[in-house]
Structure 1
Amino acid sequence: MPLSGRTAVVTGAGQGLGRAIAVAMAHAGADIVACDIRHDTLATVTYEIRALGRRCLPAQVDVSDRAAVDRMIDEAADRFGGIHILVNNAAVVPSSPAEEARRNRHYAHLTTPVERQTLGITTSLADEDWLKWWDVNVHGVFWCTRAALRHMQPQRYGRIINISSIAGISAASAHSPGYSAAKAAVAGLTKTVALDVAGANVLVNAIACGGVATPPFQAYLATATAEQKNSLYQLIPVGRLGTPEEYASLAVYLASENHYLTGQIISPNGGAVI
């Protein structure tokens, strides 16, 4: 149980990748502070974690609310005697009909032998399409990181894992420039914070996810045509999406003491970006 005696805060823990990470860390021995904006999914993951014999503090918090984040972290540290692990997973992801249309146009552009042409994505974005990514995907990561570091630095121990995306390190998700820019910001923040706090034995890394079989992506696939699905899988050499559990196993490793990694952007993506 590599995380025995540790307390982990996992944001966006109610479903998908966040839920898988929270449950995997509980399996590995950690007590969990499960943060999510939705009460129903939060209640379910809290039950799962407690059924494993681990303590779980559910926190219904919007991570874009700085004051609420500070209260959550302080309460968690007081309840469990410290914060050892932070997983910044909460995020807004591209899932609207317009974003799905852009995604399909992008995949077709990369996989169909046609004359090269502009996709018209960037010029078609409204201001709100650009701005909506920043409060949760970037500001929320910073608020949670800063609050957790106030406890990790004095205890001279911590592990911070930021969930980024291949969209932030390549053009593999160019259908959503705002999302890509926000995830690139997370990658840059990871490196800068890692250098800042390494002397306090706090290691900071990011997982730049490829396609993950989470509920939003599964919902997209449920409505996609066979041609659209084939266009997607053609871009992934292993021919499938990653499972939340596969990503969670990497998060558990990065949360442990069994490595020498900090400031790294690690990208499990099935070969989509090599």
Structure 2
Amino acid sequence: MSDVQLKDKVVLVTGAGLGLGGTIAQAMARQGASLVICDIDMVALHATQAAVEALGAQCLALACDVSDSAAVDQMFDQAGQRFGTVDVLVNNAARVPNTPAEAERRNRHYAYMTTPMPRQALGIVASLSDEDWLKWWGVNMHGVFFCTRAALRFMVPQKSGRIINIASIAGLGANSLHSPGYSATKAGVINLTKTTALDVAGANVYVNAVACGGVLTPDFEVYLESTTEAQVNRLYQMVPSGRLGRPEEYANVAVFLAAQDHYLVGQVISPNGGFVI
């Protein structure tokens, strides 16, 4: 793609401090966009800001907990004051399963799916506490809604906009049964993508989702380093491509949805190495 695909466009990326969000922000900058980025980890966010500005892009970095609707509205107000509008929203911020208990459930799930053993209940859903369930909704679901609502206040009147929701294959089926709360919120993001898309397509605002497979983020690298070789092999055995996706591969899909003329409305694009076909 040309390096001017997003010239004069303003792109807001949530959860842009580490991993996929930071990679998406840099990919948008390479295409000529001005960036608004947010996170709750300001050290990581400033690292992304430095990387974006090194590419020659303007960048406004803001602390924002997207589960707080007032904080989200303030962030979009600041974006409007700095750049006048928001043309593209990438709803990337999300809580992910990365605690030791979640790693144990993941390993148990992968062993069950890849090793011959008697069929039985895994005891995952029955063992979840209220906290295990409720912790996912604030960022993963409410945050996507709050940011979408705020972005539409710019996009609908100007009759132009792109919203890209970073979902997961966990929301497409039971591929992440080790984390039912995460899976449920990502399924919610996919349905919110479709209903919002139908609502606003007539205003030339196109809303789509990227349902990522495994992403080789720093968090996932920590998980892989903490497990045995057999456990890592079980994971890769489940993916036809035999590997996890690089953040840059997912970022390229987000850039396409943001920068290219297309006829995609309410669609779920799933780069996943063949894990879900």
Q: TM-score range by the shorter chain?
A: over 0.9
Alignment partner of 2:125 out of 122, 125, 143: 122
Deviation of the 1:84 alpha carbon: 0.2
Report deviation, 1:257: 3.4
What TM-score do the two structures reach when normalised by structure 2?
0.98
1:111 & 1:218 partners in 2: Cα distance?
21
Pick from 143, 150, 161 the counterpart of residue 158 of structure 1: 161
Q: Which residue matches 1:91? A: 94
What is the identity, as a one-letter code, of the residue corresponding to 1:3? L
What is the match of residue 260 of structure 2? 257
Q: Which string of whole-angstrom CA distances, capped at 9 and with x for unpartnered residues, describes residues 89-130 of structure 1?
A: 000000011100000000000000111111110000001000
CA distance in 2 between counterparts of 1:67 and 1:141 reads 14
Q: Distance in 2 between matches of 1:117 and 1:227?
A: 22
Pairwise CA distance, 1:36: 0.7
The match for 1:144 is 147
Q: Shift of the alpha carbon at 1:247?
A: 0.2
1:163-192 Cα offsets, whole Å, 9 max, x none, are 110000011111111110000000000000
1:25 aligns with 2:28: yes
Work out the number of aligned pairs and report it. 274
| Amino acid corresponding to residue 264 of structure 2 in structure 1 | L
* Pairwise CA distance, 1:3: 0.8
Please list every run of at least 4 consecutive aligned residues from structure 1 whose deviation after the TM superposition is greater than 2 angstroms: none
Looking at structure 2, the residues matched to 67 and 223 of structure 1 have their Cα atoms a distance apart, in angstroms, of 38
Pairing partner for 2:230 from 202, 220, 227: 227
Amino acid at match of 1:225: T
What is the CA-CA distance between 1:51 and the residue it aligns to?
Answer: 1.0
Whole-angstrom CA distance in 2 between matches of 1:71 and 1:256: 26
Identity between Structure 1 and Structure 2 (%)? 63
1:258, distance to aligned residue in structure 2 (A): 2.1
What does residue 57 of structure 2 align with?
A: 54
Query: 1:130 corresponds to which letter in structure 2?
Result: W
TM-score of the pair, normalised by structure 1: 0.99
Q: 1:262-273 counterparts in 2 under 5 A? A: 262-273=265-276
Q: Distance in 2 between matches of 1:42 and 1:60?
A: 8
Q: Output the amino acid matched with 1:99.
A: E
Distance across 1 between alignment mates of 2:7 and 2:111: 47
Secondary structure of the residue aligned to 1:173 is: coil
Counterpart amino acid of residue 255 in structure 1: A
Equivalent-residue separation in structure 2 for 1:102 and 1:129 (angstroms): 12
- CA offset digits 1:7-27 (Å, max 9, x no partner): 000000011000000000000
Q: Does 1:192 align with 2:223?
A: no
**Distance in structure 2 (CA, Å) of the matches to 1:259 and 1:221:** 37
> In structure 1, what is the equivalent of residue 72 of structure 2?
69
Partner secondary structure for residue 260 of structure 2: coil
1:121-170 deviation line (CA, Å, top 9, x unaligned): 00000010000000000000000000000010001100000011000001
Structure 2: segments with no counterpart, 5+ residues:
none
